[in-house]
Chain A
Amino acid sequence: MSTIKTQYNRRSFIKVSAAASGGMLIGFSWLNGCKPNSPELQAGVEVPKEWFEINGYIKIGETGMVTIYSPNPEIGQNVRTSMPMIVAEELDVPWENVVVEQAPLNTGFYQNQFAGGSLSIRLSWNALRMAGAAGKYMLMQAAANEWGLQVAELMASEGVIKEINGNRSISYGEVASKAVGIEVPEELELKEVKDFKLIGTSKKNVDGMKIVTGKPLFGWDFHRDGMQLAMIEHPPAFGMTVKDFNEEEIKSMPGVKDAFIIDTTIEEPGMFDEKGFKQLVAIVGETTWPLMQAKKALRVNWETIGTLESSNLHRDRLEKALASGEVTESRKDGNPEAAFKKAAKVIERSYTAPFIAHNTLEPMNFFANVTEDSAELIGPTQTPEALEGSVAKLLGLPLENITVNMTRIGGGFGRRLYVHFGLEAAAISKKIGGPVQLIYTREDDMSQGTYRPTYKSVYKAGLDENNKLIAFSVKGAGLPDGPVFPNRFPAGTVENYSAEKIKADTNITTGAWRAPRSNFTAGAEQAFLDEVAELAGKDPIDFRLELFDRAINDPVGAEHEYEAERYAGVLKLVKEKANWGASTPDVHRGVAAYFCHSTYVAEVFDMIIENGQPVVQKVWCAVDCGIVVNKDAAKNMIEGGVVDGIGHAMYSQLTFENGTPKEMNFDKYQLIRHSQAPREIEVFFVENEIDPTGLGEPGLPPAMGAMANALYKAKGVRYYDQPFMGTDRRVIG
């Protein structure tokens, strides 16, 4: 039986009080909870202080309605629905009686949450279960006290407590107020996975109605009376900075209140402070359109302070890095050089991918209200704590005088881990001495950096005379960081193996982009393996399964970063579901599998050629993400990942000329569109009892590989350079 600790060193993770409107209020730390066997507790290490920060609440009202106050902002991964489902499961209340609410802004009530993409569920799983179980226990104890019985003599289900050997029953609502004073035991029992009633079902997005009726939910929708709007202009090229501009002329334009240069340089910047340009022209006014006109009327003297890089230079640098660059991570098993020499067949292939932008559909924006001694910030961020720290440095204010509140987020993909737009809003607010909302045009958003790095990897494989893979090597360089994960597959499966991750310089700023590194490596590696399997005369799935057999039975090297059984498991599942091996005339199949963010995904694509164009007719996905919380929402995430993976493998790229990205809006930068999306996607989950893992990212990487492999079957040519369709097959919206 699974149990969970409710305290550590006699400090409780739970705080219970009477709800103002009657009933009980259970406060808990949303992101954290520990299991008795957690490594932290076993090692006796200090539990982080945030584990005791109360930031999630459950209110059990006297009517039996349960309100779950979710501190998590929604980034599109449906955590505002799936996380409350976990609480409701352990609490054992009917979902119809559950209301999910976000705390009102500006109460200081829900600051400092983290919307960490695929991490969200993983981090909060225990905490949410604990909170629900604690509530259920307290309610049962209160009922037991009422009736003069022991908790063991009662059962609770669907919001009602019953006597096991009797007729008495009482609803949660009726007993809630009495449960307030009940002491929470140090350890609580959790439900068995097989007894889950809610987890594993499909519940609709709790914010669905608000979204389809256009309610103000997003950062850009935030409004405060008296607030000004601001726009910025950054240098036109990486390697340039601003000197001065036609300030007087701009200030005299209609609708412009002020214009000035801001500097957001801070000391000891952290990883989330990445940004191409720190000095910017800012223009302030009341409405958007006049500001857009003023931006066009800007005459700025830019100063060149660095190299103005072009895509050709980037290609050269990647070449050089592969030849002689600095290796930052590596692995070597056996003797690859010798093995390649004696191999009967050797194959070597290179793969590349360009810089790409996040292009969240809601461009960057943030509200700030800076006074003499405080700063209030509101907007779409995934890292409020990092923003708070950076704002404190910029303004020279103590951390406790800064509040950051989060709104719904119009797409993240890693983009809103970076805090510069909040910092810029703070700098502008300080300058004008009042509340302001900074808004980016699409061009501002697409041309300022934190891109996915550009990559080049060289893969090499050697087969012996029996077509057994005896040597494998990968060398991958990136600007600025290489894409290789030395301990991931196929590490552990090949006797002679080497992997090198190589870095190289650029002044183009980069950052985390949905499934960092995996978003390139999966496509390259899975396309390469397809070619190796073909050279070996083996079926691509069987070929991979053979490799996993090796990792399962007799792994090479001390460790590798994946569980081979689970990897093989998704391949077997997708093989069965897609009826792999059957062939249909004019339907071309590709397969790929990948592991990242603790989740395993295998995908099979069926492609047809229609009017000369490749069309993905059907996609099968097999996913092992542990326990699935909200099934249909989980499918939606995987479907989105597949579409995104196809889109970026096929169409999207940033190219540079003299430091300037040539693609600055959706006329030139192509994102996948309706007609290019797969006609049908089916998602299957491996059923197990493993704690849930990430879903936001893992659907994407294998899609790039499956696409490349299906394209090869359909067109008879291999695609090595993303985007596969370059710029020649544009669909203009």
Chain B
Amino acid sequence: MANFNLNINGKNTQIDVDPSTPVLWVLRDHLNLVGTKYGCGIAQCGTCTIHLGDVAVRSCQLPVSVVGNQAITTIEGLSENGDHPVQQAWLEHDVPQCGYCQAGQIMNAAAFLKHNQDPTDEQIDAAMNGNICRCGTYTRIKKAIKTAANSENA
């Protein structure tokens, strides 16, 4: 076990866990931040996506020991009241079905749009291919990403 100082959603948090513990389980089991989901544990589905700095990472494959002082943002911290342009676009297109994958999709899309404000379809596909939606909401997700891109440009 070891002590870690983490900056999560703008707050400093101390935890004492095994250094190999993936951030996913630190969030879910130790900090009660359960918006970040488990889907595969091997970096294949994207449901566990969070931001490390402003990069989207799969928290199931991110040992807590490598985080250091990089800021972590989870779906709970993406915006105060669900008013991030990506969240708003998701609501506008009524994207979710079961909803389980959507936090990961949103986090990945939000990071992607920070780096590419005017994405093409192919760029969206390439960026989002790691996020599975078993319910098949892909076409809506693409529309929502474009809407969010436009509103961020505005």
Is B4 positioned at the interface, with any CB of A under 8 Å from its CB? no
In contact, A640 and B97 (Cβ under 8 angstroms): yes
Closest to A439 in B: B38
Is A680 positioned at the interface, with any CB of B under 8 Å from its CB? yes
Of A209, A213, A361, A665, which is within 8 A of B100 by CB? A361
Task: Please name all residues of chain A whose beta carbon is closer than 8 Å to the beta carbon of B18 when the two chains form the complex.
Answer: 254-255, 289-290
A to B CB contacts below 8 Å, 6 in the list: A213-B79, A255-B18, A363-B39, A665-B40, A665-B44, A733-B131
Binds B, one of A75-83, A193-201, A516-524: A75-83
In contact, B132 and A442 (Cβ under 8 angstroms): no
Asked if A636 meets B138 with Cβ closer than 8 Å, knowing A211-B102, A216-B34, A221-B34, the reply is: no
In contact, B82 and A442 (Cβ under 8 angstroms): no
Within the complex, the shortest CB–CB distance from A293 to chain B, in Å, comes to: 8
Closest to B33 in A: A214
B 100-154 contacts with A by CB, 8 A: 100-103, 106, 121, 124-126, 128-142
In contact, B22 and A639 (Cβ under 8 angstroms): no
Binds B, one of A457-465, A572-580, A666-674: A666-674
Task: Please name all residues of chain A whose beta carbon is closer than 8 Å to the beta carbon of B135 when the two chains form the complex.
Answer: 76, 361, 411, 640, 644
Interface extent on A, as a size class? 35 or more
Asked if A639 meets B140 with Cβ closer than 8 Å, knowing A204-B94, A205-B96, the reply is: yes
Closest to B127 in A: A674
In contact, B136 and A642 (Cβ under 8 angstroms): yes
In contact, A220 and B98 (Cβ under 8 angstroms): no
In contact, A636 and B137 (Cβ under 8 angstroms): yes
In contact, B130 and A410 (Cβ under 8 angstroms): no
A 610-660 contacts with B by CB, 8 A: 632-633, 636-637, 639-644, 647
The distance in angstroms between the C-alpha atoms of A217 and B98, with both chains bound, is 10
In contact, A212 and B126 (Cβ under 8 angstroms): no
Within the complex, the shortest CB–CB distance from A636 to chain B, in Å, comes to: 6
B 27-53 contacts with A by CB, 8 A: 28-30, 32-47
Is B91 positioned at the interface, with any CB of A under 8 Å from its CB? yes
Asked if A731 meets B129 with Cβ closer than 8 Å, knowing A213-B76, A288-B25, A410-B100, the reply is: yes
Given contact pairs A359-B134, A361-B37, a sample of 8 additional A-B residue pairs in the complex whose CB atoms are under 8 Å apart:
A74-B98, A76-B135, A77-B97, A205-B94, A212-B102, A642-B136, A667-B42, A674-B129
The distance in angstroms between the C-alpha atoms of A672 and B131, with both chains bound, is 10
Task: Please name all residues of chain B whose beta carbon is closer than 8 Å to the beta carbon of A665 when the two chains form the complex.
Answer: 40-42, 44
Task: Please name all residues of chain B whose beta carbon is closer than 8 Å to the beta carbon of A362 when the two chains form the complex.
Answer: 37, 39, 98, 100
The distance in angstroms between the C-alpha atoms of A221 and B79, with both chains bound, is 20
In contact, B47 and A361 (Cβ under 8 angstroms): yes
For B46-84 the 0/1 string (1 means CB < 8 A from A) is 110000000000000000000000000011101101100
Closest to A203 in B: B94
Count the B residues whose beta carbon is within 8 Å of the partner chain — how many? 64
In contact, A212 and B96 (Cβ under 8 angstroms): yes
Task: Please name all residues of chain A whose beta carbon is closer than 8 Å to the beta carbon of B121 when the two chains form the complex.
Answer: 679
Task: Please name all residues of chain A whose beta carbon is closer than 8 Å to the beta carbon of B136 when the two chains form the complex.
Answer: 639-644, 647, 672, 677
Task: Please name all residues of chain A whose beta carbon is closer than 8 Å to the beta carbon of B96 when the two chains form the complex.
Answer: 76, 205, 207-208, 211-212
Closest to B47 in A: A361
Output the residue of A76, A207, A411, A674 with the most chain B CB within 10 A: A674
The distance in angstroms between the C-alpha atoms of A684 and B60, with both chains bound, is 40
The distance in angstroms between the C-alpha atoms of A359 and B141, with both chains bound, is 20
Q: Secondary structure of the B side of the interface?
A: loop
In contact, A411 and B134 (Cβ under 8 angstroms): yes
Output the residue of A218, A441, A647, A675 with the most chain B CB within 10 A: A675
Task: Please name all residues of chain B whose beta carbon is closer than 8 Å to the beta carbon of A208 when the two chains form the complex.
Answer: 90-91, 94, 96
Is B7 positioned at the interface, with any CB of A under 8 Å from its CB? no
In contact, B97 and A636 (Cβ under 8 angstroms): yes
In contact, A361 and B91 (Cβ under 8 angstroms): no
Task: Please name all residues of chain B whose beta carbon is closer than 8 Å to the beta carbon of A360 when the two chains form the complex.
Answer: 98, 100, 134
The distance in angstroms between the C-alpha atoms of A642 and B136, with both chains bound, is 8
A-B contact count (CB 8 A): 200
Closest to A211 in B: B99
Q: Secondary structure of the A side of the interface?
A: loop
Task: Please name all residues of chain B whose beta carbon is closer than 8 Å to the beta carbon of A733 when the two chains form the complex.
Answer: 43-46, 129-132
Complex A-B, nearest 10 residue pairs according to Cβ-Cβ distance, in ascending order: A214-B35, A643-B136, A76-B98, A410-B100, A214-B75, A733-B130, A677-B138, A666-B44, A675-B125, A640-B136
The distance in angstroms between the C-alpha atoms of A362 and B101, with both chains bound, is 8
Is A409 positioned at the interface, with any CB of B under 8 Å from its CB? yes
The distance in angstroms between the C-alpha atoms of A202 and B92, with both chains bound, is 12
Within the complex, the shortest CB–CB distance from B100 to chain A, in Å, comes to: 3
Task: Please name all residues of chain B whose beta carbon is closer than 8 Å to the beta carbon of A287 when the two chains form the complex.
Answer: 17, 25, 29-30
Task: Please name all residues of chain B whose beta carbon is closer than 8 Å to the beta carbon of A675 when the two chains form the complex.
Answer: 125-126, 129
The distance in angstroms between the C-alpha atoms of A264 and B136, with both chains bound, is 34
The distance in angstroms between the C-alpha atoms of A590 and B103, with both chains bound, is 35
Closest to A408 in B: B99
Within the complex, the shortest CB–CB distance from B94 to chain A, in Å, comes to: 5
In contact, A674 and B25 (Cβ under 8 angstroms): no
The distance in angstroms between the C-alpha atoms of A675 and B102, with both chains bound, is 17
In contact, A666 and B139 (Cβ under 8 angstroms): no
The distance in angstroms between the C-alpha atoms of A506 and B101, with both chains bound, is 33
Within the complex, the shortest CB–CB distance from B17 to chain A, in Å, comes to: 8
Is A223 positioned at the interface, with any CB of B under 8 Å from its CB? yes
In contact, A674 and B131 (Cβ under 8 angstroms): yes
Task: Please name all residues of chain B whose beta carbon is closer than 8 Å to the beta carbon of A410 when the two chains form the complex.
Answer: 37, 98-100
Output the residue of A212, A213, A441, A679 with the most chain B CB within 10 A: A212
Within the complex, the shortest CB–CB distance from A427 to chain B, in Å, comes to: 23
Within the complex, the shortest CB–CB distance from A292 to chain B, in Å, comes to: 8
Of B33, B129, B142, which is within 8 A of A673 by CB? B129
Asked if A666 meets B45 with Cβ closer than 8 Å, knowing A361-B132, A442-B39, A733-B129, the reply is: yes
Output the residue of A409, A641, A665, A673 with the most chain B CB within 10 A: A673
In contact, A76 and B97 (Cβ under 8 angstroms): yes
A 167-211 contacts with B by CB, 8 A: 202, 204-205, 207-209, 211
In contact, B139 and A681 (Cβ under 8 angstroms): yes
Within the complex, the shortest CB–CB distance from A672 to chain B, in Å, comes to: 7
Task: Please name all residues of chain B whose beta carbon is closer than 8 Å to the beta carbon of A633 when the two chains form the complex.
Answer: 94
In contact, B40 and A666 (Cβ under 8 angstroms): yes
Of A217, A220, A359, A643, which is within 8 A of B38 by CB? A220
Is A434 positioned at the interface, with any CB of B under 8 Å from its CB? no
Closest to A443 in B: B41
Within the complex, the shortest CB–CB distance from B32 to chain A, in Å, comes to: 7
In contact, B99 and A76 (Cβ under 8 angstroms): yes
Within the complex, the shortest CB–CB distance from B50 to chain A, in Å, comes to: 11
Within the complex, the shortest CB–CB distance from A86 to chain B, in Å, comes to: 18
The distance in angstroms between the C-alpha atoms of A632 and B139, with both chains bound, is 13
Is A678 positioned at the interface, with any CB of B under 8 Å from its CB? yes
Within the complex, the shortest CB–CB distance from B21 to chain A, in Å, comes to: 5
Is A49 positioned at the interface, with any CB of B under 8 Å from its CB? no
Closest to B92 in A: A204
Task: Please name all residues of chain B whose beta carbon is closer than 8 Å to the beta carbon of A678 when the two chains form the complex.
Answer: 139
Output the residue of B20, B45, B121 with the most chain A CB within 10 A: B45
Task: Please name all residues of chain B whose beta carbon is closer than 8 Å to the beta carbon of A218 when the two chains form the complex.
Answer: 37, 99-100
Of B28, B45, B74, B142, which is within 8 A of A361 by CB? B45
The distance in angstroms between the C-alpha atoms of A425 and B106, with both chains bound, is 32
Is A215 positioned at the interface, with any CB of B under 8 Å from its CB? yes
Task: Please name all residues of chain B whose beta carbon is closer than 8 Å to the beta carbon of A74 when the two chains form the complex.
Answer: 98-99
In contact, B138 and A674 (Cβ under 8 angstroms): yes
In contact, B91 and A209 (Cβ under 8 angstroms): yes
The distance in angstroms between the C-alpha atoms of A218 and B37, with both chains bound, is 10
Within the complex, the shortest CB–CB distance from B84 to chain A, in Å, comes to: 9
In contact, B97 and A213 (Cβ under 8 angstroms): no
The distance in angstroms between the C-alpha atoms of A681 and B78, with both chains bound, is 30
For A673-715 the 0/1 string (1 means CB < 8 A from B) is 1110111110000000000000000000000000000000000
Task: Please name all residues of chain B whose beta carbon is closer than 8 Å to the beta carbon of A213 when the two chains form the complex.
Answer: 35, 75-76, 78-79, 81-82, 87
Task: Please name all residues of chain A whose beta carbon is closer than 8 Å to the beta carbon of B35 when the two chains form the complex.
Answer: 213-216
Task: Please name all residues of chain A whose beta carbon is closer than 8 Å to the beta carbon of B39 when the two chains form the complex.
Answer: 361-363, 442, 666
For A392-418 the 0/1 string (1 means CB < 8 A from B) is 000000000000000011111100000
